[in-house]
Amino acid sequence: RSETHFPLWKSRCCFRELVFVRREIRWFEVNFDPTDWSRVEMDWSRVKTDWSRVEMDWSRVKADWSRVEVDWSRAKAVWSRVKTDWSRVKADWSRAKAVWSRVKTDWSRVKTDWSRVKADWSRVKTDWSRAKAVWSRVKTDWSRVKADWSRAKADWSRAKAVWSRVKTDWSRVKTDWSRVKADWSRLLINGLHVCVVKNGFHRLPNNSPSPPRAAGCPGFPKVKYGHPS
């Protein structure tokens, strides 16, 4: 192609980059230690295992929390029923008091209003049976409230235990991650040590070491991107 489509300086620059990448890959193949990499993989598998444990415990926490919410909604429904029944009891009690006042009023007119007294007395008996039924329902609902509360306390203690397990697994994950970072830094240091041992140092006449002149030993003076400057 012509110079306008692909200039010659661009092709020279790409060739230099390809040579640099090839030398870096060759240095990594020569100085790579598979034992360090297996250690990194082992630590990484440990991290994944701990993370799966954390997710499992978190799903348990969510399930227990959903059970707690269901029990709490049940307790609220029972409590609303208790309040409704208690209002009914109070209404019936007020009705009974009204009936009793009518009974006292009608007792002065016994002879003339005896039929009315009998009707009111039957109403009193009906209200009393209704009040007894309401009271039995109140006792049943209260026993249900106590049972739901004990279940909620048990679920809460289970959720606290699961949360402590989650914190323990998280501390294990952090420990394994610090181990992975330490193994990775050891891998880099071992690669640099192998490079220096293989290439050696160039000694000056006064026996003082000069910077290494080998290609592929990054990080030393006068060595740029793994090549001698």
Residues 20 and 28: their CA atoms lie apart, in Å, by 12
Burial class (CB in 10 A: 0-12, 13-18, 19+), 117: middle
* Confidence grade of residue 118 (pLDDT, cut at 50, 70, 90): confident
User: Does residue 155 contact residue 71 with C-beta atoms inside 8 Å?
Assistant: yes
From residue 118, how far is each of 96, 219, 229 by CA, in Å?
A: 14, 111, 120
Return the amino acid letter for 67.
R
E-state strands within the chain: 223-224, 227-228
Rg (CA), the chain: 44
On average, the pLDDT of the chain sits at: 78
Q: Which two tokens stand for residue 112?
A: 């003339």
Report, as an integer, the average pLDDT of 142-170: 94
Report, as an integer, the average pLDDT of 118-139: 91
Q: Which two tokens stand for residue 67?
A: 């059970």
* Confidence grade of residue 14 (pLDDT, cut at 50, 70, 90): low
Q: For 208, phi and psi rounded to 5 degrees?
A: -100, 135
CATH 1.10.287 for the 32-207 domain, yes or no: yes
3-class DSSP state of 85: helix
pLDDT digits (tens, 9 = 90+) for 174-208: 999 999 999 888 887 776 656 555 555 444 344 44
